Structures are given as structure tokens and as C-alpha cells.
Amino acid sequence: MESWNDPRLTKQMAFLVEADKLKNVLRRTLLTDGSRRENSAEHSWHIGLLALTLHEYAAEPKPDLGHAIRLLLVHDLVEIDAGDTFAYDEQGYSDKEEREKAAARRIFGLLPDDQTDSYLALWREFEEGRTPEALFANAVDRLHPLLNNFATEGYSWKQNGVLRSQVRARMQPIRDAAPKLAAFVDELLQRAVDRGFLADRPQPEGG
């Protein structure tokens, strides 16, 4: 690690350079043009933009937008160590919490102590999903891959044999945090099923 004159700035810069690795963490979804897999850093930017653009649909009590975006900027950093766990991967989910906790300690631990604490608090707030900001942030985080999947004719749904019922269950946070967006989700999923992007029931094996 490069050491600078100011010890506090040295730690902050080490953290900011480490964060660069999130650009190499690939998600299951493709970009909407289908050209390549999306990485978690550009996803984090995009959900910030979703939060900004769709904030009017957040349920009461209205989340503070600035704080919701802070949660979104920070919450995926743990994937640098823990990787992106696919939403419908039950095995991956069994130890997800432990892996991400260790990652959060290491990565946010690069910062000066007071910031380690505040970033860990942001990360935990998002994970616990109880504050209005965390509820709304979770909602846009779940909504985002639907746009990619719809645009790419269900690429990651098909790749992984995901069913509409699973997607609907995964979108539950949207129902609570932004009911109007939940109606949009239902409309999108219906079209996805109608067009053959998403299976409504398990496909017969061996066809």
C-alpha cells in the first residue's frame, strides 16, 4: 500500500483504490444490448440513477433520497471478497451472510476507524432493510435486473431456469417500498411470460 504524508488520507486512498476491484465482479445479467455481463460497480451507479428517477413512487414515510443513494453506493462492495451471489442460488445463499460479514470487516476496515464504523452501519442498514431508505434501496436493487432480463429476452432467467413465481417472490420488497412499481413489475413479468422470456412453470426435463 502506498503511504502518503497524511495517515488518515493514506487509509482513505487505500480504500478507494481497493474499491476499484468491484469493476471486476461480474453479475449474471447482461447489459441491455446483450454485449457482455454487467459488473457490480456499474450496476451500483445504475441503481443510484433508478433511485433518483423513481423516488416519487416510494411509499410513505418518504425515504431521504441522499441517504438511500449512499446505501446503494456502498452495499455491493462486500462482493469484492464474497462475489456476487445469484439471487436464485439457494446453496450460495446458505453461507452468503458469513462471507459478506468477513468481507465488510476487511474492506471497510481499510478506512480510518470512524469511517469503518459508519460504512459498516450503512452496509448493515441496507442488509437489514428496515428503514424507509433501506426498503427503497432494496426495491430499486431488485428492480434493476428485471430491466436487463427483459431487454435480453430473459437471458439470466433462461440460463438458470428461473420461474415467474421465484421472480415475484424476490420482488416482494418492491411491493412494500413502492406499490406503484410493483404494478409495473407484474406487467413486465406477464409480458416476459407471454413472449417466452420467462417460464411460468417448470419446463419438462429431457424435453
Residue numbers of the site for its own copies (CB under 8 A)?
A: 2, 4-6, 9, 12-13, 15-17, 19-24, 31-33, 35, 38-39, 41-42, 44-46, 48-50, 52-54, 64-67, 69-70, 73-74, 111, 115, 147-148, 150-151, 180, 183-184, 187-188
Q: Which of 38, 100, 125, 141 is in the footprint of Ca ion by CB under 5 A? A: 141
Residue 169 touches which member of its own copies, Ca ion, none, C-beta under 5-8 Å by kind:
none
Pair 115, 10: CB distance under 8 Å? no
Tell me the C-alpha distance between 41 and 174, whole Å.
Answer: 22
Tell me the C-alpha distance between 156 and 168, whole Å.
Answer: 15
Cell (9 digits) for 7:
495517515
Closest to 42 in 3D by CA, of 14, 23, 69, 67: 23
Residues 64-83 that bind Ca ion (CB under 5 A): 76
Q: Write out the H or E segment, with its range, that includes residue 38.
A: strand 37-39
Q: Give least dist CB 69 to its own copies, A.
A: 6
**Nearer of residues 8 and 124 to Ca ion, judged by Cβ:** 124
Q: What angle do CA 94, 96, 36 make, to 5 degrees?
A: 115
**Nearer of residues 31 and 92 to its own copies, judged by Cβ:** 31
The secondary structure of residue 28, as a DSSP letter, is E
Residues 175-204 that bind Ca ion (CB under 5 A): none
Residues that bind Ca ion (CB under 5 A): 76, 141
